[in-house]
Amino acid sequence: MSLITSVAATGTPEISRPDPARLIAGDPVHRTWLTEERDGLWCGVWQSTPGTWRVSYDEWEYFRLTEGVSILTPDGGESIRLMAGDGWVIRPGFVGTWEVVETTTKDFVIRL
């Protein structure tokens, strides 16, 4: 195993969709290419087609959008427009909605 690994959308991704109970609009399809998964840490590339769903974070996540446009809206708060090049941290306890306006791709690191 190399001590340096490229984070890239290569190989066969894991395909998923939001839980139907959380889906608000559309039929978003998620693709995830995991680069690292161990000891409560995940990193890789995530992509979603347009749609809106509820999110609830128990984990900490850093991400940087590499493509697309999304809108993250905390319950009771103002919407945040996410665009390619933007980097963000979501902390445990965040609850709200994630709307993919244009197919969105992000590099991510998640820590439990």
Looking up tokens 């066969």, which residue turns up? 12
Mean pLDDT of the chain: 97
Please give the pLDDT value at position 1.
65
Please give the Cα distance from 13 to 34 (Å, whole number).
8
Phi and psi at 12, nearest 5°, equal -90, 120
Looking up tokens 């809206």, which residue turns up? 73
Instruction: Tell me the domains of the chain and their CATH numbers.
Output: 17-111 (2.60.120.10)
What percentage of the chain has pLDDT greater than the value 70?
99
- pLDDT one-digit tens code per residue, 20-75: 999 999 999 999 999 999 999 999 999 999 999 999 999 999 999 999 999 999 99
In sequence order, the β-bridge partners of residue 18 are none
Please give the Cα distance from 55 to 106 (Å, whole number).
16
